[in-house]
Amino acid sequence: MTYQADQQPILFDIYPDLADKIPWIPLGSFPTSIQRLQHLSQGELMIKRDDLSSDIYGGNKVRKLEFILADVLQKGKKHVITMGGIGTNHGLATAIFCRRLNLDCTLLLFYQPITSYVRQNMLLFHKFQAEMVYTGTILRTGIEFYIPQKIKHPRAYFLYAGGSSIIGTLGFVNAAFELKKQLAEQGLAEPKYIFCPLGSNGTAAGIALGCALAGITSTICAIRVAASHLGPFQITTPATLRGLMEKTYRLLLSKSGMIPTVALRTPIVIDRYFGKAYGEPTAAGLDALKQARELEGISLDPTYTSKAFAGVLDFIKANTHRTEEVLYWHTYNSSNLSHEAQLVDYHDLPPVFHRFFTQQEIPV
């Protein structure tokens, strides 16, 4: 179903005093379905289809943006500045929904290996009127985000990569309550394990915190698809996950007297599927991408979900896990925007991006 104007997140149904204290706007179509994959498993593998979270642009970012962009509007901001790789799905989702809400959007973009989907996303950034600023490396992007852009645009709303702010994480706290309700309504057993990609912490942290609050005892497994550190600074580690969970939990406690005391369980972080670099496809990931597409009709991307799904497939094939219920939380967008991208000539992009359309791309 699609949220109507008089509907609200399940989180607000459970804790009614949050509704007047935390802003939210409807952007997606929820709940997303749960399906069993029959060709890649014996029925023990389920998938939560967040790729269908919106007909406009699906994926996990929609849940986060329902809270984030409501916060932007409540604060009276007109301009959102965020960052990611040159093929960032988060950046594209932010650009699309900012355009729908008449908000300006600036994307600070660092290099990642060139694939067809990276090129398509760059064309779509322009299509949806995002300002594109190339910053080269992740380190330079972070410096640009925290210093020059804040000096240049002091009234803008600054959004962390991946939408993984405390406010954005609430989208997946809410999603865990959605899962709890679906399992009960469909007569499904709780999965023993829930898997998701780990890119900027918000999805895994929100699911883990939400499951604790909802009484779901599944073990959360986050497959790392981004660098764990930037120099001495932790980016995606058990500690950063735990920190975001605790901060989000404290926000909820400060906003509602109904939030219970719960023990937080940090997700298990699985490291071995990342590969050589951010955005660089792996052989295992490309094999998982092909299997999902050909056997189940599920679209994966080479940066995040193919690597995570490769880990899930290895997990369910292990003898010790063959009969255990596993749920994979699918975070990619499956809405086809190729026609929109074809309306854009790459020469219309800022000149610094032109070379990414002439150099050789990695086949996927």
Q: What confidence tens digit (pLDDT) does each residue in 16-62 have?
A: 999 999 999 999 999 999 999 999 998 899 999 999 999 999 999 99
- The parent domain of residue 69 ranges over 63-163
Both 82 and 175 in a single domain?
no
Give the per-residue pLDDT at 126: 98
- Answer whether residue 359 is part of any domain: no
Same domain, 118 and 170: no
Q: Give a yes or no: residue 335 inside a domain.
A: no
Phi, then psi, of 230 in degrees rounded to 5: -120, 95
CA distance 8 to 115: 38
CA dihedral angle for residue 311, residue 312, residue 315, residue 321, rounded to 10 degrees: 170
Same domain, 145 and 241: no
175 with 265, same domain: the answer is yes
The pLDDT value given to residue 275: 97
Percent of all residues in the chain with a pLDDT value above 70, rounded to a whole number: 98
CATH number at 98 reads 3.40.50.1100
How far apart CA 29 and CA 25 sit, in angstroms, is: 12
| C-alpha count within 13 angstroms, C-beta hemisphere, residue 337 | 27
User: Does residue 354 sit within a domain?
Assistant: no
- Domain membership of residue 243 (yes or no) is yes
Same domain, 222 and 313: yes
Query: Mean pLDDT in each 10-residue stretch from start to end of the chain (364 residues)?
Result: 62 97 97 96 95 97 98 98 98 98 98 98 98 97 97 98 98 98 96 98 98 98 97 96 98 98 98 97 98 97 98 94 94 97 98 97 93
Nearest-CA neighbor of 200 among 245, 238, 162?
162
Q: Is residue 319 part of a domain?
A: yes
3-state DSSP assignment of residue 269:
strand
- 289, 179 contact by CB (below 8 A): no
Residue 123 shares a structural domain with residue 180: no
Residue where one domain finishes, among candidates 147, 163, 179: 163
How would DSSP label each residue in 24-52? ----SB-SPPEEE-SSSSSS-EEEEEGGG
202 is a domain residue: yes
Q: Are residues 183 and 275 in the same domain?
A: yes
8 Å CB contact between 200 and 226: yes
Give the DSSP H or E segment for 326: strand 326-330
Q: Are residues 101 and 184 in the same domain?
A: no
pTM above 0.95, yes or no: yes
Q: Are residues 33 and 92 in the same domain?
A: no
Question: Could you tell me if residue 82 is inside a domain?
Answer: yes
Joined together, the tokens standing for residue 86 give: 């040159």
From 160, 57, 216, select the one nearest 208 (Cα to Cα): 216
pLDDT at 320: 87
Kindly state the tokens that stand for 356. Answer: 């990414």
- Residue that the structure tokens 């909802």 belong to: 214
Same domain (yes/no): 296, 150:
no
* Same domain flag for 131 and 271: no
Q: What pLDDT shows up at residue 237?
A: 98
Question: Is residue 363 situated within a structural domain?
Answer: no
Q: Report the domain count for the chain.
A: 2
Pair 126, 230 in one domain: no
Q: How far apart are CA 64 and CA 172, in angstroms?
A: 7
